[in-house]
Structure 1
Amino acid sequence: MGNVIWLTGLSGSGKTTLAKALLKELRSDGSTGVLIDGDKVRNSRQNRLGFTRSDIERNGFQVIDLCEKERLVSDYVIVAVITPFEVVRTEARTRLQPNYYEVFVSTSLDLCKRRDTKGLYRKAELGEIQNLVGVSGEVPFETPKASDITIDTHQVTVEEASKKMLSSIRKWIDGRKLKK
């Protein structure tokens, strides 16, 4: 059964960039892997969810379901989803253990706003979108309580962050092998 590496953090924190770098590195070692990107899941035709707290939670639970299927056929399932609520991250850890590893991609809201690769923060400021995670009081980003590693993308380059994450993941995997 494959390992699920779940990256959580604000929009613009660097989750997808790090996930792609990690997947490339893991594949170079001969491992199989798939990337589940939050934007792609949300934009799929069968997903008709909005951005209320309830819909965001439901989307997170759908991603967990997808992970359960994908880990049957891949060595690694790399997830890059905002996942703002602890209840969803706890459910992911419960359902996907012992093969679940959580990465908190920590970046200041100010830096995420400056990056704003999708223009979401600008749209929120203009009132064009509601319920933007971390900006709206309705959908706060709850800081993870049990992440396995925290990567502050303000402090390190993508290469440094990827290397740090990969090293930590390999130690986690080696530690699990020793327990068997």
Structure 2
Amino acid sequence: MSNIHPEFHRFLHRQDKENLLGQRGIVVWLCGLSGSGKSTIANAAERVLHQQGRFTTILDGDNLRTGLNSNLGFSDDDRLENIRRISEVAKVFVSQGIITFVSAITPRGELRDLARGLLGNDLFEVYVKASYEACEQRDVKGLYAKAARGEIAHFTGKDGSFEPPNNPDLVLDTEKSSIEDAAFELLEAIRGKISAHRPLV
């Protein structure tokens, strides 16, 4: 017999939180190669929303691997658990009406399917598109140089494949668009999804 007895029904409803915040919660999941611009776009979009009085947060894959997911590596099983944990945290935030950005490579379809299975219609999937060569040229974190020297195992795009999403909600090609333009396009795409149940006061 299980000693776990969830009591979600006793808590304030999600709509109560959203009404208080004057917005609807959503999980904007940005996937793509390292250096494609995921975190930079999320940060730019969040700053605009913050200036508009929206309540937001960013779950960054690298940041989470220094804490919550610090015990995980990059094996297939660990990548799956990494995404499961991120999804569960995002699920908590969105249930409170928070506009939640997730920046995580999420290289395979099964990982994205896991996230969608946990988040359902709250998930807005964004493919931040940039070729391996373009990301290697940017190499903001120096990871591509390390991968070329063989210092990083299972590096996505080199040793590990990246499967582009089949049907993302939005594609942002950062080889063709600036970060500012990409962030604007993203905000336009989610505008109707975060609109408040009542006007912001």
Same fold (TM over 0.5): yes
C-alpha contact 2:69 2:82 (8 A) present in aligned 1: no
2:168 to 147, 157, 164: 147
TM-score of the superposition, structure 1-length normalised?
A: 0.90
Separation in 1, partners of 2:35, 2:46: 19
Query: Aligned with 1:30: secondary structure?
Result: coil
Note the 1:1-180 alignment, pairs <5 A.
1=14, 2-44=25-67, 47-136=70-159, 139-173=160-194
Separation in 2, partners of 1:83, 1:46: 14
How far has the Cα of 1:46 moved from its partner?
5.4
Count of equivalent residues: 173
How far has the Cα of 1:121 moved from its partner?
1.0
The structure having more radius of gyration, on CA atoms, is 2
TM-score of the superposition, structure 2-length normalised?
A: 0.81
CA RMSD of aligned residues (A): 1.6
Q: What do residues 13-50 of structure 1 show as CA deviations (whole Å, max 9, x unaligned)?
A: 00000000111112222110100000011111653111
Separation in 1, partners of 2:114, 2:148: 32
C-alpha contact 2:99 2:194 (8 A) present in aligned 1: no
Question: Where does structure 2 lack aligned partners over 5 or more consecutive residues?
Answer: 1-13, 15-24
Match of 2:6 in 1: none
Distance 1:170 1:110, change over 3 A: same
C-alpha contact 1:57 1:85 (8 A) present in aligned 2: no
Aligned AA (1:89): R
C-alpha contact 2:29 2:101 (8 A) present in aligned 1: yes
Separation in 2, partners of 1:24, 1:134: 30
How far has the Cα of 1:92 moved from its partner?
1.4
Separation in 2, partners of 1:41, 1:75: 18
C-alpha contact 1:33 1:74 (8 A) present in aligned 2: no
C-alpha contact 2:83 2:114 (8 A) present in aligned 1: no
Over the matched positions of the two proteins, sequence identity in percent amounts to: 36
Query: Aligned with 2:161: secondary structure?
Result: coil
Separation in 2, partners of 1:62, 1:45: 8
Separation in 1, partners of 2:170, 2:193: 11
Aligned AA (1:148): D
Q: What do residues 69-113 of structure 1 show as CA deviations (whole Å, max 9, x unaligned)?
A: 222334201001101111111121222122110110000110100
How far has the Cα of 1:171 moved from its partner?
4.2
Separation in 1, partners of 2:182, 2:78: 31
